[in-house]
Structure 1
Amino acid sequence: MWEQSQIKRTLSAPANLARVQALIREAPELHRTALADQICTTWGFFDARGRPQRAGCLKALRALERAGRITLPPACSSPGRGGQGRRLGVAVPAPQGVGREVTELEGLALVRVDTAEHRALWNELMAREHPRGMGPLVGAQLRYLVGSAQGWLGALGFAASALQLAARDAWIGWDPALRERHRHRVVGLNRFLLRPGVSCRNLASWTLGRALRRLGADFEACHGYRPWLVETFIEPPHTGVSLRASNWRFVGETGGRGRQDRGHAAAETRKAIYLYELEPDWRARLGWVRHRHGATHRWNPPRVWMRSSGLNTSSGVRPWGTSD
């Protein structure tokens, strides 16, 4: 089983950091990408398909530079301005003739984004119509468009899961070391958009169901491994009753902090956390049912209760502004 490389932790070790500093000093002609490629080769930072983990290595190197531990060569271009940020430049035409029922849609299809044209279309839809914009998303990613003969109806995107979530981590039951080894097996449903004005019964359920059925195979084709769990967040006043009806599990709430808020400085709205099990035997794959110190370890799921936070459990779910 491929385990996610802990690049920053590896490079932060004193002996390894000294080697990185020596490499920068002895080969000043290397630009950052070439430096990252060489480091990947030296330390064996490759993904499940044998490709160098260049993006993760560059991110770790920039973090080490911010911490004052290394000095990188000048950047050739600003991060985040590459293909991921390209847009159409004009609004995507609104769909026409959308009926009230999903069965009335013609040519309904979930389209995986794997061309520059589709990526620009996805970016334009999210930038203009999603409350959180187009990103950037982080980690291993998959994007989809929802198309039909009536026009483009929506889009959704999967990316890396949250670094830490107390409620999620307690429900899974892993310790920090096991979480770092297997967190890539949890992916986040980070964007879900049904376009404003599209009010089609069961379209959200159709979209989520179709995406989750495809996600394992598509993720493996793109990234070389299959995820086990999917996480997503519901922000009040939206609720998760439709998710629970579709076998998503409510496991608790976020702590109201962002992904990179290590100093408890930023404040965000507390959100309900939902998990979907892609692989029924994920606990066995994680290694929970096994002998430890001569005794069999049994996993007992913690009981999770809804907080009195204003979440209404009797109405439909609208993840980030979608409708069902």
Structure 2
Amino acid sequence: MSRTLTIQGREFSEVDIQTIRHLINDNPAWHRTRLSKELCARWDWRTEKGLLKDMACRSMLRKLEQKGMVTLPVARHSGNRQRRIPDVPHDCKPIETTLRKIRPIQLIPVSGRGDIDDLFHCLMDRYHYLGCKGYVGEHMKYMAFDRNSRPVACLLFGSAAWKTAPRDRFIGWDRSARRRNLHMTTNNTRFLILPWIRIPHLASHILGSCLRRLSRDWTAKYGHDICLVETFVDRSRFAGTCYQAANWQKIGQSKGRSRQDRHHRLQVPIKDIYVYPLTSNYKKQLCTQP
């Protein structure tokens, strides 16, 4: 390898790749988690809170293996992506009313395993067209309940796209700034209003409530704030009305390629790209160089 690779927002040289290979060869009993933690410690690859970036490192290792550059130990288990989706009983009785009659909406961050987390994954898997079996890296999950404690919506925020031309032009950053500051953005990867809910303006109301607290919750969980949110709306399914009503900005369209399409062969629906700045000086924050 004559040049550096950028994976998970980090540059890797030939020396780094050789380090990984030597660790694997010299420690055949190590599993992937042990390997990733050792690499994070050696490289001092940590979150803003000082925690090892173990999940990001494991994702990086899988990508290197997909490129044929390393051979990893056999996975001991299938991981979070293949988690068993719980079947949680829930009331599907139609709710058709006005927003005023079900307020206040309670927005609850979902963390760790437990009853609310099980309900979140059950509803997402059953009623969101993309499902929700797992995620890698920093993320936030929310569930929204009405004044009678009935679930009405689920939201998931995860890793922003590594690069997308309309967003990158909108921000005005170069590759170096994007690599350094991408962690200050997030992608609203899932937004589900439960199918038996018929309440005008509910979706935009929930989006607005969530965005007002998102950066604060992110900082509490990960030790750094975020200043821009993005989302990709499948034009073949949705018009993006709730994002427009919540004052998101439509900045362009995707090219109809998957983020996993390394060989330019996969065709996926074209999506409208929306962004929502969380701070007034977000461009300065995102374009800052070291």
Counterparts of 1:73 and 1:88 in 2: how far apart (Å)? Answer: 29
TM-aligned CA distance change 1:9 to 1:240, over 3 Å: closer
TM-aligned CA distance change 1:135 to 1:165, over 3 Å: farther
SS at match of 1:153: strand
Deviation by residue 1:110-165 (Cα, 9 ceiling, x = unmatched): 11112422111111001100111114334310001111216211111100111221
Amino acid at match of 1:30: W
Cα pair 1:155 1:192 within 8 Å, conserved: yes
Equivalent pairs, count: 281
Deviation by residue 1:197-241 (Cα, 9 ceiling, x = unmatched): 211122112210110011000011111111111111222253235
TM-aligned CA distance change 1:72 to 1:112, over 3 Å: same
Cα pair 2:139 2:157 within 8 Å, conserved: yes
* Aligned alpha-carbon RMSD (Å): 2.2
TM-aligned CA distance change 1:9 to 1:246, over 3 Å: closer
Which consecutive unaligned segments of at least 5 residues does structure 1 have? Answer: 1-5, 291-324
Cα pair 1:257 1:267 within 8 Å, conserved: yes
Pair 1:100-2:114 in alignment: no
Cα pair 1:142 1:158 within 8 Å, conserved: yes
1:122 corresponds to: 120
SS at match of 2:123: helix
Cα pair 1:11 1:17 within 8 Å, conserved: no
Counterparts of 1:255 and 1:136 in 2: how far apart (Å)? Answer: 25
Counterparts of 1:251 and 1:11 in 2: how far apart (Å)? Answer: 29
Aligned-residue offset at 1:242 = 4.4
Instruction: Please state which structure has a larger fraction of its residues in strand.
Output: 2
2:205 corresponds to: 206
2:143 corresponds to: 145
Alignment of structure 1 residues 242-321 onto 2, 5 Å? 242-287=242-287
Cα pair 2:32 2:72 within 8 Å, conserved: yes
Amino acid at match of 2:283: R
1:193 corresponds to: 192
Aligned-residue offset at 1:249 = 0.9
Amino acid at match of 2:116: H
Pair 1:157-2:156 in alignment: yes
Counterparts of 1:244 and 1:202 in 2: how far apart (Å)? Answer: 11
Counterparts of 1:137 and 1:276 in 2: how far apart (Å)? Answer: 22
1:50 corresponds to: 50
TM-aligned CA distance change 1:45 to 1:234, over 3 Å: same
Cα pair 1:94 1:152 within 8 Å, conserved: no
Alignment of structure 1 residues 8-47 onto 2, 5 Å? 12-47=12-47
Counterparts of 1:106 and 1:90 in 2: how far apart (Å)? Answer: 25
Deviation by residue 1:4-45 (Cα, 9 ceiling, x = unmatched): xx6668674122222222222222222211111111100111
Further displaced range: 209-218 or 173-182: 173-182
Pair 1:166-2:185 in alignment: no
Counterparts of 1:131 and 1:46 in 2: how far apart (Å)? Answer: 34
Counterparts of 1:7 and 1:166 in 2: how far apart (Å)? Answer: 18
Further displaced range: 58-67 or 204-213: 58-67
Structure showing greater Rg: 1
Counterparts of 1:36 and 1:183 in 2: how far apart (Å)? Answer: 21
Counterparts of 2:249 and 2:98 in 1: how far apart (Å)? Answer: 27
Counterparts of 2:112 and 2:8 in 1: how far apart (Å)? Answer: 31
Cα pair 1:87 1:121 within 8 Å, conserved: no
Aligned-residue offset at 1:91 = 4.6
Taking structure 1 as the reference length, the TM-score comes to 0.80
2:108 corresponds to: 111
Counterparts of 1:181 and 1:122 in 2: how far apart (Å)? Answer: 32
Counterparts of 1:154 and 1:186 in 2: how far apart (Å)? Answer: 22
Counterparts of 1:183 and 1:252 in 2: how far apart (Å)? Answer: 19
1:293 corresponds to: none
Pair 1:77-2:72 in alignment: no
Cα pair 1:141 1:159 within 8 Å, conserved: yes
1:221 corresponds to: 220
SS at match of 1:274: strand
Identical-residue share of aligned pairs (%): 31
Counterparts of 1:169 and 1:38 in 2: how far apart (Å)? Answer: 34
Further displaced range: 116-125 or 175-184: 175-184
